[in-house]
Structure 1
Amino acid sequence: MTCADRIQLSRKRPSVLSTKGPKLWEDRKDKVKAAFKHSWDAYRRDAWGKDEYHPVSRRGSNMITNGQGFTIVDSLDTILMMGFNEEFEEAKVWVRDSLNFDQDGEVNLFETTIRVLGGLLSAYDQSGHDSVFLTKAVDLADRLMSGFDTPSGIPFASVHLRKKRGVPGHEGGISSTSEVSTLQLEFKYLSHLTGDDKYWRAAENVILKMKEMDSLDGLVPIYINPYSGYFHGQEIRIGSRGDSYYEYLIKQYLQTSKTEKVYKEMYDYSIAGIKKHLVGRTIPNHLLFIGEISLYSPSTLSPKMDHLVCFLGGTMALSSTEGKTLDNMTFTRSSFTQLEEEDFKMGEELTEACYEMYNQTETGLAPEIVYWVQDEQQIIGRNEIEHTPGSDFIINNRDGHNWLRPETVESLFYMWRFTGDEKYREWGWRIFESIEKYSKVKSGGYSSIHDIRRKDNIRFSDKMETFFLAETLKYLFLLFSSNDVFPLDKYVFNTEAHPLPIFVPSENLLRRPETEIAAAATESNAAGMTNASDNKPELTKQTN
């Protein structure tokens, strides 16, 4: 089928409902397990203990001298979930005997938290509370805590593990907004497990301060200054450096059994801002997309959208249902409020657009970035590699790579859980088939691809990201599993797809001393956006 044929089919079908039985989905789930095993066995053979795997050259590499076991730790809960018990025991022994955080080297605070700390905490929960994982998690977290030791409490981008010292970012000491606000699920759960509130306080302090800063209807710039504690720059987007700030607002609310309503309020405010400022429509298929703006010209919507934005469809469904699925007798779609229905519908539409990022390419794989077509002027002079006639987006030459990202299949998983519509499973299966066809390395593993725009020009970039095992294959496995596997009213998945149990926090953890709140407000009251100008739009505090 040609790309044009796929686009034409896309226009004709409002839904792809399936009458296929459970045996087919079991078979497809087994194929996802086989893909994981194909990857894991190759990593074990060629790169055991290394942070990352390069499947074409059959070697491993580390981010610091002796590595942090990124691939092993990031995969622990996937291994358990898929029932690979022998592989899990071997990985646990490696964690116990070889994983050592007392190393000279700087690590990214965010990546280490979501992948390694999150992986250890999830493995601790899933393994029946094996102390090996909690002991390692505490050791790591105590080292990562040094990142919060800044003039404002907004963490630095990196941490030196042995010296226990925060390291400013390489862009003038500026940190990423999404990175500093995507530590909270992990640190708060660790406080819940240990009874030590220092992790909770450090992580929560970041959000307390951000809450008091100015925003554009809940939308915040993608950089923040750890020295001043103020947002930095003018770029607003839900893609890179912005994405998981919004994701963790609603997930913090759900993680602590909806006891912290401030996070729901902040999330709702930001979603209203997204609807007001960032939503666009394509031609010819009228797809809904999320664009980007600058505070200097907030009425000018850029049609650029990262694949990373595709998490948002599933997150909006999660926020609307609060984790309750349609087969739960306490919840039906008719019980939605008007706002919940509106958000859920928008999540459905965005998820469809994200699927079309795959469906409208020749390979059936999505690029890293697209520019959505809003008028015919955008495609004048474009060749067929950049824009296939009839498609809804442009793929620039520098944006055609595919890193086997999880965000679209993540949203397909959520939508399947919340609607029961098997079209989402079918879409996920088509994506998996394309991964199998174009990314699989015969000798073992799967590789990122330089350019997905032409199937006769596939070149491997020789890297298998750890999130392919931790997220992409996990969400596909769950998409083809029954609804009772990790129920979404019992678990919250961190941004690296590590399931963490929902819990009721102790009174001590929920206590927010007035002095803390007053200090956060005082330090942030003058915040605003740095580099402000006279023509900047009116900004408001993130409170309703």
Structure 2
Amino acid sequence: MSFAVPRNVPAFGASQRHLEDRVWGSNRGMELPTYKDKPFYPKSRRSNMLRKRLLGPLLFVAATLMYYMGFFASSKPSPLSPSAINWKDRQDQVRDAFLLTWNAYEKYAWGHDEFHPVSKTGRDMVDGGLGWIIVDSLDTMILMNLTTQLKHARDWISTSLDYDKDHDVNTFETTIRMLGGLLSAHYLSTELPHYAPIHVAKGSPGEDLYLEKASDLADRLLGAYESMTGIPYASINLKTRKGIKSHADGGASSTAEATTTQLEMKYLSKLTGETLYWEKAERVMKVVDDIGQKDGLLPIFIDPDVGRFRDGNIRLGSRGDSYYEYLIKQYLQTSQQEPVYREMWDEALTGVRKHLITYSYPSNFTVLAERPNGLDGSLSPKMDHLVCFMPGTIALAVTGGLTVNEFKETGSWSKGQDEAMDLAKELMKTCMGMYKVTPTGLAAEITYFRTWEPHKMAWEGWNLKSPEYFDPDRNAAWRDDFVIKPNDVHNLLRPETVESLFYMWRITGDLEYRNWAWEIFQAFVEHAVVPDGGGFSSINSVKLIPARLKDNLESFWLAETLKYLFLTFGEADVLPLQDVVFNTEGHPFPRFELGKLFKTGWSRKPRDEYGHIKPDAPKRSNTNLEAVIDDKVKIQSVAVEKKPEQH
């Protein structure tokens, strides 16, 4: 079985986009829940779906919906003072939303990898299941102190979870969700044992259950890195441990997928003392960086066998996003002891400002656009919801996780920090506008923007500001900047905007970000609740009230969206940002020192001012990448020549 991109993904303007969105050729017809880094095209609308809201277990929200400002209110300060808001109560309501979802999953689909909350059914991606939803939710249950639910999940993992499956799985998704979920559960249960405490006798079997399962899974994933370059293949057979090229895209791996396994593998190496995980994941960064892309911006497909990008499509949305996220997070994970990743992040952010930042018309929202045909091609003023990870990541990079005030006290604040933080704030407002512009108060999967003609680019000196607040008038001019196309109107309960709001609140202390997160939560409750105790579901259109449910729930709703909301409404001393990094699936890992076993095993080649490798850069030796590839090709050729004749 192979994980498949959802069918019927539309063309989004680039000539090559139809290639990247093809089904992954599964012979057995099974599909993976929606990829974290890929847009999803909805199936046909389901007719006559009744929309009943705020019933049963969620009546607790009704009073709040009437009491507090609605989600279409302006962004002016609430008439309620901060002290009048009971943030603990709001946090409890997020926990209740988790429980509503989890209880429905336990009742109707326990142990299955997929949950369809409207039809109240489940399905496995492979025989016996992979623990997809259960493992992805572990650390959220720990943080929410849900001991009973955690024990049930832990018992299932102990007795039923087996990764010795003769099926292929997506390398990236399995790493960030499954490996990341197990490692984070190990970290939290070890470092925060008073959270959802489960007593396991010291020295007894299962004491290190999460770590043991993680090590077993990682050992199976290692085969994906056995390409000619070390860039992981798109998939891996868990039983045979053989890497498998993508069934589409000419066998290329997506850039985001190949470069978003490093936090997980490095942390596992630190826990076990086994350097192999570290070395395999780290090598990918060297191969990618050695190509020498202009201004630190990478195309979204790379060939794992030759180590070259497949086309020029550059974006920070699907298949590009988390490469940039993991640059700064690798730097922070190892306590700022690997400056190469900081350098790469700074170079990429400069490239983003130079090539991708433009402004909408007439209200001047900051748009992080795309270059479908390369940096010399035309600009596409389009933002996947996935791009909304970027405001929070920029803010995290500015302060390293400290608050702005704490960072300023170090005496290191500069004009560069000011400019980067301004960019984060403006992008955050754009992402929030993607929610506020719709009747439901929920963002579409993809939003386009009307822009100035010709484009006003940040690099040209434009530094335009969006309106101070969102005018709630349905005819307000700012709404004209946002364009949502019919194929893009669905909402999968994605986490990226609330993720960034979490970072922005923690780092700036601006209450506006906390209030925006509450507005989004209210909208989820109002439009995504399934009647009759089914939990929550993705919706088909953010433009329709009542909304029509998709009968689909992604595990990132539990792993990320609700977790980030819960943390946003909680105290900042829980998982302080200067002590942890969150992987791209919202799983927290601790920061650590390199120590004696680990080091950065590579260095960057000299570059010119555009990021291109200088012609006089040192030639690679016999042990370099080209030599390794040449040797493997020669071995394959010899094997073909010696193959006995068939009679």
Q: TM-score, normalised by structure 2?
A: 0.75
Shift of 1:9: 6.1
Greater shift in the superposed pair: 62-71 or 396-405: 62-71
Which residue pairs with 1:423 in the alignment?
Answer: 512
Per the TM alignment, residue 89 of structure 1 is displaced from its structure 2 partner at its CA by: 1.3
SS at 1:508's partner residue?
coil
> Does the CA contact (< 8 Å) of 1:64 and 1:106 recur in 2?
no
The aligned residue for residue 25 of structure 2 is none
Deviation at 1:62, TM superposition (A): 1.7
Question: Could you state the TM-score of these two structures normalised by the residue count of structure 1?
Answer: 0.89
Matched, 1:225 2:303: yes
Q: 1:405 and 2:507 equivalent?
A: no
1:350 matched to 2:412: no
> Once the 2 structures are TM-superposed, how far is the Cα of residue 454 of structure 1 from its aligned partner?
2.0
1:472 aligns to 2:561 (yes or no): yes
Q: Distance in 2 between matches of 1:17 and 1:73?
A: 42
* Residue of structure 1 in register with 2:98 after alignment: 36
Residue 62 (str. 1) matches residue 128 (str. 2): no
Cα distance in structure 1, aligned partners of 2:623 and 2:480: 48
Aligned partner of 2:159 in structure 1 is 97
| Separation in 1, partners of 2:382, 2:602 | 43
- 1:375-420 Cα offsets, whole Å, 9 max, x none, are 5999xxxxxx9x9983321110000010000000000000000111
Q: Point out 4+ residue stretches in structure 1 off by more than 4 angstroms.
A: 5-10, 13-18, 330-335, 375-378, 516-522
Distance 1:31 1:9, change over 3 A: closer
The match for 2:227 is 150
Q: 1:187 aligns with which of 265, 275, 281?
A: 265
1:523 aligns with 2:625: yes
Which residue of structure 2 lines up, in the alignment, with residue 541 of structure 1? none
Structure 1 residues 409, 511: CA separation in 2 closer, same or farther (over 3 Å shift)? Answer: closer
Are the counterparts in 2 of residues 492 and 501 from structure 1 also a CA contact under 8 Å? yes
Question: Aligned AA for 1:19?
Answer: S
After superposition, the C-alpha distances for 1:485-506 in whole angstroms (9 at most, x for unaligned) are 1000100000000000000122
Does the residue aligned with 1:496 lie in a helix, a strand or coil? coil
Q: Percent identity?
A: 45
Aligned pair partner of 1:207 in 282, 285, 288: 285
Within 2, Cα distance between the matches of 1:402 and 1:334? Answer: 43
Per the alignment, residue 538 of structure 2 pairs with: 448
- In 2, Cα distance between equivalents of 1:284 and 1:337: 31
**Alpha-carbon contact 1:177-1:242 (below 8 Å) kept:** yes
Q: Does 1:396 align with 2:474?
A: no
Q: Specify whether residues 175 and 47 from structure 1 end up closer, same or farther in structure 2 by C-alpha distance, changes over 3 A only.
A: same
Any idea what SS the aligned residue of 1:370 has? strand
Which of 372, 375, 379 aligns to 1:301? It is 379
Q: Unaligned 5+ residue runs, structure 1?
A: 379-384, 528-544
In the alignment, the residues of structure 2 paired with residue 220 and residue 453 of structure 1 have an alpha-carbon distance, to the nearest angstrom, of: 34
Cα distance in 2 between the residues matched to 1:285 and 1:520: 57
Which residue does 1:374 correspond to in 2? 451
User: Matched residues in 2 for 1:519 and 1:108: separation?
Assistant: 33
**Which letter maps to 2:415?**
Q
Cα offset, 1:282, TM superposition: 1.0
Write the distance in 1 (CA, Å) between the matches of 2:222 and 2:244. 12
CA–CA distance in 1 between the matches of 2:553 and 2:156?
Answer: 21
Question: Could you tell me how far 1:24 is from its partner in structure 2?
Answer: 1.0
Given candidates 167, 184, 187, the residue that maps to 1:122 is 184
What do you get for the CA RMSD once the two structures are aligned? 2.8
Equivalent residue for 2:218, pick from 133, 141, 157? 141
* Pairs within 5 Å for 1:155-166: 155-166=232-243
Q: Which segment drifts farther, 387-396 or 85-94?
A: 387-396
From 109, 130, 137, give the equivalent of 1:47: 109
- Residue type of the alignment partner of 1:523: L
- Give the Cα–Cα distance (whole angstroms) in 2 for the partners of residues 80 and 475 of structure 1: 14
* Structure (1 or 2) with the larger CA radius of gyration: 2
Could you say what secondary structure the match of 2:553 adopts?
coil
2:81 alignment counterpart = 19
Task: Give the structure with the larger helix fraction.
Answer: 1
- Give the letter for the 2:528 counterpart: S
For the pair 1:131 / 2:220, whether they are aligned, the reply is no
Output the CA distance in 1 between the equivalents of 2:79 and 2:316: 30
Q: Are residues 360 and 37 of structure 1, via their aligned partners in 2, closer, same or farther at CA, if it must alter by over 3 Å?
A: same
Show CA shifts across 1:464-521 (max 9, x none).
100000000000001100110100010000000000000012232106279x995699
- Amino acid in structure 2 at the alignment position of 1:26: K
Which of the numbers 134, 147, 172 marks the counterpart of 1:110? 172
